[in-house]
Amino acid sequence: MTEIISNLKKHTCPTCGGQLIVNEARRMYECPFCGVTFDYEYFREDDVLERAARSMRAGEMKSAQEAYEFMLAKEPSNFEALRGMILVAAGAKTTYEFARVESLKKMNTSLVDERVQNAIDNCLPEHKEYFLKMKELFDATDTYEDGLMKNRDLRIDQKKEISELQRVADKKCELFFEFRASEDPDDIVQVHPKTIAFFIITVYVFYCFFVLLGFGMVKNNPYTKTASTSKKTNVSVRTATNDSVANYVVRMSMEKDLIKTYENQGMDPTEASKKAKEQMNKLPNYQSMNIYSSLDTRKEKQAAESESKRKENEKAWEKRHANDGTKKLLWILIPGAAVTLICIYLFRRENKIKRFDGEMLAPYREKASAITGEILKNEDDTNRMKFKLNQLYKEMKALDPIPEKVSPPTTIKLHKKQRKRWE
């Protein structure tokens, strides 16, 4: 017994925190600072583990660690002490906290990994699978944390690329034309140079159409001989028609006079009419009669006057419209030159916009798109790893040879259920 007592490690006083010393004569632990003494039974295995569990529940990690260290000094393969040392390193009161990913991420993984490996090396064979599963859980947590960190870095890179993309896009927008859509100064519409160019070209095409239409309304010289001849033909037709009517009227008048003359001579009316018609058929047309000779002379005189006037009008019309072709070209070419210069300027701006899209914006878009794809892939991996953490925790709890004596955290839903049951 003396050998066992001499091999016991010094412990801390729970009252003042001082190091206890062993009084072999009295078979007790004494505190040289506050005078408190502890029996050897105070450090029995069951008592040590129970006090360690109470310290863990109270959050006194240092006291719990000292108790577990004392237990491991006596029994290096003690399962509860090995697990307790891992919990102290993780800053967790119970392994139920391992079910929450947020708790796993806050743990000191390097120290935890060291304690887990120590537990694997020193535990009993039947407990090794439990600690191996715990190691797998913490390794998966490291992988999950690395995935989150990678995603965080990727999002920072994505923001940088989007910022650069926006900067280049703002420069490209400077090549657009801005128009105020209303009185609101913020209500501004940006118009592409190509749209303005097509609008100007469309307006110019309509302008040319109306110019050609306006000059086309001025027909050929209406006073030329050909045009006058067609007019004369129409007049001649009308004159011939009028002469025929006059000839018919004269002949009917003469026929009636002959019928009256024959009737006065005592001739039968039927025979008088027949003889008058025969007599009229023997007479020549009224055009060859002397009574119309003066009319023909007057017509010739009017025709001569009309021809003279036509020639004067023809010369005046030609003089007035001599420069119509030149005017037409000037009306079309001068605005056309202005439209051409404006369109050249607009299409140059359009080419600059295309260069922005092809040479500057495209690489940023591709890089931002690649980062976005990588973020989505990494998020899928981290979500799968989060699900795997939950599965590993369940498998670890299923392998627990000595369940913890503390209750798992009560959720709000479970708390309401329990309260309802007691009510």
Q: What is the pLDDT of residues 198-209, one digit of tens each?
A: 999 999 999 888
Give the pLDDT of residue 93. Answer: 85
pTM of the model: 0.51
β-pair type (188-191, 177-180): antiparallel
User: What letter does residue 87 receive in the DSSP assignment?
Assistant: H
Q: Report d(CA 70, CA 78) in Å as an integer.
A: 11
Same domain, 278 and 361: no
Residue 151 and residue 300 in one domain: no
Q: How many structural domains comprise the chain?
A: 3
Contact 107, 90 (CB under 8 A): yes
Q: Which amino acid is at 51?
A: R
Residue 313 pLDDT more than 90? Answer: no
Reading the block at residue 89, the tokens are 């390193």
Q: How many CB atoms lie within 10 A of CB 34?
A: 11
In this structure, the answer to whether residues 51 and 71 fall within a common structural domain is: yes
CA distances from 406 to 66, 94, 298 (A): 20, 7, 142
Same domain, 308 and 228: yes
Q: What is the 3-state secondary structure (H, E, C) of 316-349?
A: HHHHHCCCHHHHHHHHHHHHHHHHHHHHHHHHHH
Task: Give the model confidence (pLDDT) of 96-155 as tens digits.
Answer: 888 888 777 777 678 888 889 999 999 999 999 999 999 998 888 888 888 888 889 989
Residue 106 lies in a domain: yes
Specify if 130 maps to a domain.
yes
User: Do residues 204 and 353 both lie within one domain?
Assistant: yes
Identify the pLDDT of residue 132: 93
Best mean pLDDT range from 41-55, 63-77, 78-92, 238-252: 78-92
Are residues 197 and 294 located together in one domain of the fold? no
- Asked whether residue 344 is assigned to any structural domain, the reply reads no
| Same domain, residue pair 310 and 377 | no
Going 374 to 379 to 384 to 389, the CA torsion angle's sign is positive
Strand partners, 191: 177
- Residue where a domain stops, chosen among 277, 300, 320: 320
Classify residue 421: in a domain, yes or no. no
**Rounded CA gap, 366 and 239, in Å?**
89
Rg (CA), the chain: 61
Domain boundary among 304, 320, 336: 320
Same domain, yes or no: 232 and 194: no
Query: Does residue 373 form part of some domain?
Result: yes
197 and 101 belong to one structural domain: yes
Q: Which contacts (CB < 8 Å, 24+ apart) does range 268-274 have?
A: none
Which one-letter amino acid corresponds to residue 22? V
Residue 250 and residue 277 share a domain: yes
Domain interval for residue 17? 1-75
**DSSP structure class, residue 404:** -
Q: Which amino acid is at 195?
A: T
Domain boundary, last residue among 320, 337, 361: 320
- How many helices and strands (H and E) does the chain possess? 14, 5
Domain shared by 107 and 203, yes or no: yes
Answer yes or no: is 342 within a domain.
no
For residue 203, give the nearest of 365, 343, 316 by alpha carbon: 343
For residues 224 and 232, the answer to whether their CB atoms sit within 8 Å is: no
Query: Over 90: is that where the pLDDT of 341 sits?
Result: yes
On whether both 116 and 199 belong to a single domain, the answer is yes
**Beta-carbon count within 10 A of 220 CB:** 10
